[in-house]
Structure 1
Amino acid sequence: MKHNAPVLRGIVAALALAGALAANAAEPLKANVIHWWTSGGESAAIKQFALAYDQAGGKWVDNAIAGADQARATAINRIVGGDPPTAAQFNTSKQFHDLIDQGLLNNVDAVATKENWGAIFPESIVNAIRINGHYYATPVNIHMQDWFFYSKPAFAKAGIKGEPQNFDELFADLDKLKAAGLIPLALGGQAWQEKITFDAIFADMDRDLYLKVYRDRDANAVNSPAFRNVLTTFKRLHNYVDPGSPGRNWNDATALVISGKAGMQIMGDWAKGEFSAANQVAGKDFGCFPGFKNSPYMIAGDVFVFPKTDNAEQVKAQQLLATVMTSPGPQAAFNQRKGSIPIRPDVDTSGFDICAKEGMAIMKDKSRQLPNPEMLIPPDVQGALQDVITNFWNKNQSAEDAQKAFASAIKS
């Protein structure tokens, strides 16, 4: 894709700001960055930001902590304890709003204004990072958490000739995979994975009901027969996972699809990083589809927040990080490896795979954009609902009882 003149001016301005920030520091601007990207594909992605930051005059100090919950807890403990990192990863959600309320984060308004974030980024992303008129987080990607990935060899072995177009065809294909002696659905049996699988089914079945439940927290919607049907359809998937599912990490589930031992996985597009690390090519070795025809594109992603500090060098480092992470070049290099799509539309797309290109095309249709639950409900409510879903998935509980538990949790 060729950049037009305004885009070129934007890139030049971004690099000028980065250069000015770095030039003002006698020493490289050291940035201690906490994140949870530790799998093969994730590590390859975050290294692109580290390299770009160092090339811009900084010194990236990597602080990778396995597990999102553990990484966020470490960041919060360090912030509250007076030893804050330069930047810390959170999801594009309400997870960091308590830190804002307590005055524990610096804003990056100077960078956001210079880069015109409000006009460049999607509205849902802007709404997630601009709080009370200030930009408190730097978005680095747009993930969609309910992609269906499948093994081309596994589908061929099971005699499946095309992608399922609806739930009837999906379950028919899962039956064929089981009959072929394969694991039909590769699922990592962890609470967060079970919850995003549920949300994938929910969004594909009834977008309007999804919004009534998560955005409006409508008790009548939760208690409806339609929502009970969502629960029943979700639990039906349990017939297609293998006994080794409980406790399995998401990337180990992806590895089953990569090896052809499993037919399919419902996972965020970060899974593509694992396929890439295994030298598999989308459309050749594996396939992908973002739900069924005209399904909503559930927006998720990652941001970095910047803990409060009065240290002038650290403030410069934070602003340099915000500039580098959102610049077109690093955006392309990072997202190609991460499996996500860029947060800005003026990035060269030639190096992206067919899945990413489909996602970018869908994002142009605002009517298909759907916030993920964590952008609509507080973290404590999300946690309570996750407990309800994992309990329903793993125990012999009726859909009616799960429905009651869900209704109670969403009111909390």
Structure 2
Amino acid sequence: MTQYRKGGMAVAALAAWMLAAGAQAAGPKAEVMHWWTSSSESAAVRKFADAYRAAGGVWVDTAIAGADQAKAVAINRIVGGNPPTAAQFNTTKQFRDLIDQGSLNNVDDVALRDKWDQLLPGPMLDVIKVKGHYYALPVNIHMSTWIWYSKAAFKKAGITKEPATPDELFAALDKLKAAGLIGLAHGGQAWQENILFQAMLANVGGKELYLQVLRDRNPKALNSEAFKQVLVAFKRLQSYVDAGSPNRNWNDATAMLISGKAGVQIMGDWAKGEFSAARQSAGKDFGCIAGLGPQVPYLIQGDAFVFPKTANADAVKAQKLLATTLMAPAAQLEFSKLKGSLPVRSDIDVSTMDACAQAGMAAMKDKSRQVGMIEVYITPDQNGALQDVLTAFWNTRMPVEKAQKSIAAALLQD
């Protein structure tokens, strides 16, 4: 055996030892499955990955475009016995079946140690805490019915005052249309029409009717004249969209405000990330309205990670490290700055965030305004049936009376 060959074997042995030592030294590895794939979302999730790595963990990123597709893949892998360490869902009833089937680990010790009951809003706790156990890590707060507007478009249309009531909003849309602009930038997709419906229910109907319709599914409220007027307002919005609306993505609709081609978009605060990516500033280039009146409910939802059932000690350790590091104040703040959301913790100083985030946090301080968005109160099946009616009503000449009866039937199903 030559000296060179001996030397090569020694180097190989040393390399193998170093790899083994590195594997032992590396912290818990977490495969994190999510659907954050837009430019602003990708930048935001990197903040979480950096925080996890800084805590000693190994982050394995599994990004799948489209929320429905990502959730379907996660569920298939959980059922198939090859789950990721953590999988993204929304803070709704989406993962309740997984809880009921015993497919998720809880993170009770982390939640109790870090006092989640004191830090998190009630509508979120109601979803993640089931029979006294914490089954998901909420990582942010999204409000789905923000009203965004282009300052340039408003100036061109001669709109000098920010709308403060539903009537003023429709007056502004009329002025935008008269000025040759697109009044409402909208993507004709079922979930986006669902958002417009929620916005009208909250802003035209108010908190009491909103809860009676969605949380209580009260037949009297569903068949009331007040609810009929909500549907009339919802349908009226359709007269302000452009012919290119069907199947448009939400971020392409936001781009219409960024370019000044359209005046208003009703969309969740994730849209703010698109404004930021285009280097536009809140209050200067665009405006944001949390509600058309000080008592309009602030409809909250958010993103969360669930932790699939596993008995693997390293995987459990990784799940608990994720629950700890992603809830940490610094990670919460840096993530939300890029995502367009609010930190889920109530004790975080948001003075370094933009004007819209500060307005949202101010609204959250009034707990009477904290109301869950639609999927917090109804099942995925009920929501799907509702969306089918809304989309048909939006796209056809369906009479409002028929739409009202069909919505009642959809929400009153078991």
TM-score, structure 1 normalization: 0.93
Larger mean CA deviation between 115-124 and 64-73 belongs to 115-124
Residues 97-141 of structure 1: CA deviation (Å, up to 9, x unaligned): 100000000001111111111112122222221111000000001
Matching residue's letter, 1:289? I
Task: Provide the residue aligned with 1:27 in structure 2.
Answer: 26
Q: For the residues of structure 2 that align with 1:123 and 1:404, how far apart are their CA atoms? A: 31
Q: Contact (CA 8 Å) 1:381, 1:409: kept in 2 or not?
A: yes
Q: For the residues of structure 1 that align with 2:326 and 2:53, how far apart are their CA atoms? A: 12
Q: For the residues of structure 2 that align with 1:216 and 1:357, how far apart are their CA atoms? A: 31
Task: Provide the residue aligned with 1:136 in structure 2.
Answer: 135
Deviation at 1:290, TM superposition (A): 0.7
Residue 334 (structure 2) pairs with residue 330 (structure 1): no
Task: Provide the residue aligned with 1:18 in structure 2.
Answer: none
Gaps of 5+ in 2: 1-22
- State which structure, 1 or 2, has the greater radius of gyration over its C-alpha atoms: 2
Give the 5 Å matches for 1:11-410.
26-206=25-205, 207-294=207-294, 295-410=296-411
Residues 79-100 of structure 1: CA deviation (Å, up to 9, x unaligned): 0011100101111101001000
3-state DSSP of counterpart to 2:148: strand
TM-score, structure 2 normalization: 0.92
Q: For the residues of structure 2 that align with 1:217 and 1:164, how far apart are their CA atoms? A: 30
3-state DSSP of counterpart to 1:188: coil
Q: For the residues of structure 1 that align with 2:349 and 2:313, how far apart are their CA atoms? A: 34
Q: For the residues of structure 2 that align with 1:370 and 1:123, how far apart are their CA atoms? A: 9
Q: Contact (CA 8 Å) 1:32, 1:86: kept in 2 or not?
A: yes
Q: For the residues of structure 2 that align with 1:61 and 1:244, how far apart are their CA atoms? A: 38
Residues 261-289 of structure 1: CA deviation (Å, up to 9, x unaligned): 11110000111011011111100111101
Q: Contact (CA 8 Å) 2:105, 2:309: kept in 1 or not?
A: yes
Matching residue's letter, 1:155? F
Matching residue's letter, 2:139? V
CA RMSD of aligned residues (A): 1.3
3-state DSSP of counterpart to 1:105: coil
Deviation at 1:196, TM superposition (A): 0.8
Q: Contact (CA 8 Å) 2:121, 2:370: kept in 1 or not?
A: no
Matching residue's letter, 2:164? Q
Q: Contact (CA 8 Å) 1:103, 1:308: kept in 2 or not?
A: yes
Q: Contact (CA 8 Å) 2:351, 2:358: kept in 1 or not?
A: no
3-state DSSP of counterpart to 1:96: helix
Task: Provide the residue aligned with 1:9 in structure 2.
Answer: none
Q: Contact (CA 8 Å) 2:26, 2:58: kept in 1 or not?
A: no
Q: For the residues of structure 2 that align with 1:172 and 1:403, how far apart are their CA atoms? A: 25
3-state DSSP of counterpart to 2:375: helix
In percent, how many aligned pairs have the same letter? 63
Task: Provide the residue aligned with 2:3 in structure 1.
Answer: none
